[in-house]
Amino acid sequence: MASISRHFFDLGHLDDLAGASTPLHRLDPRAKLLATLVFIAVVVSFGKYEIAALIPFFVYPVFLISVGNIPFKCVLSRLVLALPFALLVGIFNPLIDRAPLSHLANFTISGGWISFSSIMLRFVLTVSSVLALIAVTGFSPVCSALLRLGTPKIFVVQLMLMHRYLFVLLDEASKMVGAKSLRTFENSTGGLRIYGAFTGSLLLRTMERAERIYSAMQCRGFDGDIKRTLPAEFGKRDILFLCGWSLLFLLLRAFNLPLIIGQILTGTM
């Protein structure tokens, strides 16, 4: 069970993938970060009833995953991990918005179901693009890019430390799950009381280990400054990547490509 849990929550695998040497990996992190931010801003700008117009935007995360040689299963497993948060946001839409908005064969589809589908679609697009960005760049270079783009240093440092201590939490949880499985029968749960104690012990163990890690960082000269270098200026490939993708996103936002294709095929344009 511990090995399964460790494999499922192995968030560090994305940073391992960032060590590859594809043309996409060699681009400036700032270019990839800015392109992804433009992508997210454009995707979330669509109305709550938009579905078809969002479909062409899959070209960007698919491009990052394919050109960056990222295993699709790696991205999919982490999408599933974050899925409950998106479901919590949109699950009540069908109950609140029951007005008929569309018809499919003999079925009437309410606005709530369409807006719920739109939320889930935007969730898949934005989260998959961020996961692919980390996989082709690395979390630390992304933080360095944020710093070079003017993000306050205190925010970037907190982001890096939170990312680092998340691994500490998962590592301690994996050890405790393994210890529990060795001391109990496989089908024995122990009740809610056991899990309450488990959670409390996990918090204490994680805080204690985090304090030891921070003390070791201070002994090695950590003063809150991020000492990572990036190229001083964008190269031609970086500018082409950023401008090309940003222009494509804006064009897809301005023109509903699936609608245009449908009108051409049906001769109604």
Integer Cα distance of 119 and 84 in angstroms: 12
The domains of the chain are located at 2-151+233-266, 172-230
Helix (H, G, I), strand (E, B) or coil at 239: helix
In which element (H, E) is residue 108 found? Answer: strand 107-110
- The DSSP secondary-structure symbol of 54 reads G
pLDDT in tens, 80-124: 888 888 888 888 888 888 787 776 777 778 888 888 999 999 999
pLDDT in tens, 160-213: 877 777 777 777 777 777 777 777 655 555 556 676 777 777 778 778 877 887
Of the candidate ranges 41-50, 131-140, 188-197, 210-219, the one whose mean pLDDT is the lowest:
188-197
134 contacts 77 by C-beta, under 8 angstroms: no
